[in-house]
Amino acid sequence: MLSDKLRFPDIEIKKQKLDEVRSILPAVSVESYEQAFLVDYTHNSTAIEGNTLSLIETKVLLEDKISIGGKPLREIYEITNHADAYKYALQCIAENKILTEHIVKDMHQILMRNIIDGGIYRNVEVRISGAGHAPPAPVDMFYQVKDFFHDLVEYGKTLDPIVFASWTHAEFVKIHPFVDGNGRVSRMMMNYQLLASGLLPVSIPKTKRFEYYDALESYALNEDIEIIARTIAELEEARLDDYLNLVDKGE
């Protein structure tokens, strides 16, 4: 069982402040922030997995609908699929849906569209390059996935929202139930939980990928959730500050 003692009260205070002023935030500013986040998040989440499109190329592809010459078709699909999967997640959040196995499989299917058959659990052994943790064999994996979705309900009742979102990500990627796309879908699951709790989604910078990998490895080997939780908390607090600054600036 995860400890429910790890808490982030400063984030809760800032969330409450944001809740109080959400209705007076300029719609144009909020829309621009959300669009900028979509581009940044899509770029970083795919770049962590090896996609070579730059931030500006990602922006041009998503906003201007202009294909990027010389790039593999797979990389183009990775970008557009990621944006579509995130929009699907936002739609589910708007409908007050809790994160379920069905939604996770749907997100993965969208992420993998035109790349591989998505939304299907693996029936083969896999390994994570450079990691000390080995994902479970298919038979064990199916049992672990079942336990994961059971624990998802229970932990959601007791854990701090940041810890809960971090655990959702770290535990799912540890199980590694899909042949490909586990990192992208688990980061999206993390943001789903943040949004469901009234917080803001976060983007893990590709420049921090090695620290991020180490944090996930610490959980996979030692069930130490604190390192990845504090990483997510730092990103969350920065995003909350950005929105609160809109009010301070009188925009």
Residue pLDDT, tens place only, 6-26: 999 999 999 999 999 998 898
What is the length of the chain? 251
C-beta of residue 175 within 8 angstroms of C-beta of residue 186: no
**Local structure of residue 115 (DSSP, 8 states):** T
User: Is 101's pLDDT higher than 90?
Assistant: yes
161-191 in b/e form (b: 16+ CB < 10 A) is: bbbbbbbbbbbbbbbbbbbbbbbbbbbbbbb
CB atoms within 10 A of CB 5: 8
Residue 70 half-sphere exposure toward CB, CA atoms < 13 A: 4
User: Is 251's pLDDT higher than 60?
Assistant: no
C-beta of residue 14 within 8 angstroms of C-beta of residue 240: yes
- Each domain of the chain, given as residue ranges in start order, spans 18-248
Nearest to 181 by CA among 39, 88, 48: 48
Residue pLDDT, tens place only, 193-250: 999 999 999 999 999 999 999 999 999 999 999 999 999 999 999 999 999 998 766 5
Rounded Cα distance between 45 and 122, Å, is 22
| pTM (predicted TM-score) | 0.95
Q: In the CATH hierarchy, which fold is given to the domain comprising 18-248?
A: Fic-like fold (1.10.3290)
Residue bearing tokens 């301070």: 248
What is the structure's pLDDT at 162? 98
Structure tokens at 90: 């936002």
